[in-house]
Structure formats: structure tokens, C-alpha cells
Amino acid sequence: MFGNANVRPLSVIIGVNGIGMGHTVRQSVIAQFLRDRGHHVRIVTNGVGRAEYFRDLGFTAWDAWMPTLLARGDRIHARDAVRANLRQAPAGLLRHLQLRRAVRNSGVPDVFVTDYEPNTPRLAYHFDRPLISIDQQSKYRHLDLPVVGRYARTADEQRLRYFAPRVDRSFICSYVPLDAEGRQVEFIAPVVPDAVRSAPTTIEPLATAYFSRYFDHGPQESVRQLASIFRQSVPDRKLRIYTQPSELRSLRGYADARVEVRAFDREAFIADMARSEAVFSNAGFNLISEALVLGKPVHLVPLPTYDQHWCAQVVDEAGLGTSAPRIEAQSVLDFLARARSLRDNVVRHRDLHLLADPRERIAAYLESRSTIDGPMPAPVAG
């Protein structure tokens, strides 16, 4: 509960991007933390499954519409956006009006929080309430980050400015030290569940892997190659590969006595990462953050987005793991040969930069602007 007797309970609506599990896990951790401190939290996301995930945690959750904004040549083109959303837009706008009505009828909150989605910003502007962003993508908006290979940050910045043209405060999660000018921007350590931070860690002759799908870029080739490399060249370690249930049938054939292929189960996956010598994956921000908090080096094969290529490059440059365009024998064996020294680097880095719980800072900021003496101020241009 509150450490400051002058703080009144807040009403908060958190907007969550429903693509993948990273945003969902991060915001569910924040939502539960705020609820435990006595605040009233509701959720806006997109996708029936994501809404049900939050409802199972005991939150009111609305399934809203999020338009499709795909990049072409590292830019989002207006013509592509119109073409992709033309048929869905009328129903999507109707759903947003229904969402606005539901928020009004159930109580306009004191503050809206957004994680890389457009619904809560529009609600915040409509109801004249503060808007706080808590994400990892906003670094692409505030920092002039370089091109990585053939990928640039342009589309990510466009998407952010479309979703939330202005915010009152931006908390940006990062597993490496970053800095930006401006009082409205603050970098924080990644938001990681307590189950990860408190997981008992060991080092066993085991490697854990997880590969996901991004449109037509599926996990099959990475799973096939990694399983073959372990069978032929890594006789002293087991490999446990996790995949989404929808992919399991096509990937089971790559398993043998030392290579397991399992349907993804978050609790089991975290437990296996905690006991592993090393982790193989695509370059998703949340998975990298959790592996680093557990003290595990990662070998990353980024999916075709700037975000994944930037994350993979930063990990490689910081000596927290390695990256490669695809799973190949030489890069995998080099990574395993360096696993001990990389692990030492990860542990040092974690102890310097990742141990602080960012939820405390987020809650303190919200509560400092909402006391018994008055409510939070209305938004200002950012």
C-alpha cells in the first residue's frame, strides 16, 4: 500500500499492444503492482486472447481495434495504410466509440498509460487526461539511432507519432544504459516479472531455445538447423526448444533423445532458462531482458524488423551474447565456446544496470502527481 499518507487511490487505464506476448507480460506486471498498492486498474488491448489473459488476472479488459501499419522500405506509406485498413476502419472506429462510451460509463480514469498502441492516447486526448508511455520502442522516437544493416528506425518513429502524437511523460525500458535530453523522458530498467527475478539459477549442460513467427518468417528453419547442429556437433549438452502450439506439429520431427521440442509454457520456459548454460532465440526485447536478469548469455537471430536488429546488435556489442543473420554451425559453436566468458559479462552487467525494480519508480511518479490535495494535471503538448 501507499508509503505516502497524502496519496489517494488512482484510477488508471493501461493500453497494451496485443501483438506478441512482450507488451502483455510487461504491462500485466505493472498493472498488478499498481493494484497491489491500492489503485484501480483497467486494460485496453487488441485481440480476444490478450483481453482474456488480463481478465483471468482479475482486470476489466476491453478488446479494441488497432490499425495495421506495416512498413515498406523502412517507411509507412499513406497509400499502404489506407489499403490495409480500408475495410476494417468503419467497424474499428465504431468499436472505438463504443470503448469511449464504456470508459465514460465505468468512470473516466485519472491517467492513461500507453504501450505502443493508439487507443489510450485517443481516449486521453478526448477526456483531457494525462498520458504516460511505458514501453521500449520510444527510444526510436527520442534518440537518433543509426541504421542497422538495411533497417532504419523510420517506421518505428512514424508508428509512435501516429499512435501517440504527444505524451506527458515517457518511461523507456532499456537493458543497456541510454540517455536523452528532456524532462519528459526517463530511461528505466526492463519491467521483469517477480517469477523471473526470484527464479533460482543453476548452470546445467542444457541450452534453451525459443523461435517465433513474424508473418511469413516462421521458426522451422531455425529449429531444423539448431537441432541438427546439436545432434552432430554438441554431444555434451541437451537442447530444449519451445515453440507456439500452432507450430508444434510441424516441428516435432526434429526432436530426438537429446533435442526436445515443446509447446510454449511460460512457467516451464523460465525454469529452463534459469538452469541453462545459454539461450537461443530471435531478438525480442522481453526475452532478452529476462535472459539477462537470469544471468544467461543469448545467441540471437533477429526477425526482419529494425527493433530486432537493433536489439541483436546492442547485445553483441555489449558482450552479452552474439548475433547472426541465421542459425549456422560456426556461429553457434563459437557462441557455445564463449558461453562462460559471456555469462560473466552478463552477470556483471546485470548487477550494474538491471537490479533496480522500475515499478517502484513508475508508481512513485504517478502517486507524486496525485495527492489528496488535488488531481493530476491535464496533458500538455510533448
CATH (domain of 17)? 3.40.50.2000
Same-domain check for residues 183 and 227: no
Same-domain check for residues 139 and 250: no
State the CB neighbour count (10 A cutoff) for residue 88.
14
In a domain, residue 273? The reply is yes
Same-domain check for residues 170 and 266: no
Per-residue confidence (pLDDT) for residue 377, from 0 to 100? 44
In a domain, residue 240? The reply is yes
Q: Residue 353 is placed in which grid cell?
A: 544496470
pLDDT (average), residues 27-35: 98
In a domain, residue 375? The reply is no
- What's the total number of domains in the chain? 2
Same-domain check for residues 150 and 216: no
In a domain, residue 30? The reply is yes
In a domain, residue 381? The reply is no
Condensed to tens digits (0 to 9), the pLDDT of residues 86-98 reads 999 999 999 999 9
Same-domain check for residues 136 and 215: no
Same-domain check for residues 225 and 348: yes
- Distance from first CA to last CA of the chain, Å, rounded? 31
pLDDT tops 50 at residue 124: yes
Per-residue confidence (pLDDT) for residue 50, from 0 to 100? 95
Q: Residue 143 is placed in which grid cell?
A: 534518440
Question: Is the separation of the CB atoms in 321 and 300 below 8 Å?
Answer: yes
Averaged confidence pLDDT in the chain: 93
Same-domain check for residues 39 and 119: yes
pLDDT tops 90 at residue 128: yes
Lowest mean per-residue pLDDT among 4-8, 162-166, 333-337: 4-8
Same-domain check for residues 108 and 27: yes
Which range marks the domain in which residue 16 is found? 11-189+356-368
Condensed to tens digits (0 to 9), the pLDDT of residues 334-382 reads 999 999 999 999 999 999 999 989 999 999 999 987 654 444 444 433 3
Same-domain check for residues 170 and 207: no
Same-domain check for residues 18 and 37: yes
Q: Residue 51 is placed in which grid cell?
A: 483481453
In a domain, residue 380? The reply is no
Same-domain check for residues 151 and 53: yes
In a domain, residue 377? The reply is no
Closest CA to 286 of 271, 272, 266: 266
In a domain, residue 382? The reply is no
Condensed to tens digits (0 to 9), the pLDDT of residues 251-289 reads 999 999 999 999 999 999 999 999 999 999 999 999 999
Supply the pTM of this predicted model: 0.92
Same-domain check for residues 123 and 238: no
Local structure of residue 151 (DSSP, 8 states): B
- What does 74-106 look like in DSSP terms, one character per residue? TB--HHHHHHHHTTTHHHHHHHHHHHHHHHHHH
Q: How confident is the model at residue 181 (pLDDT cuts 50, 70, 90)?
A: confident
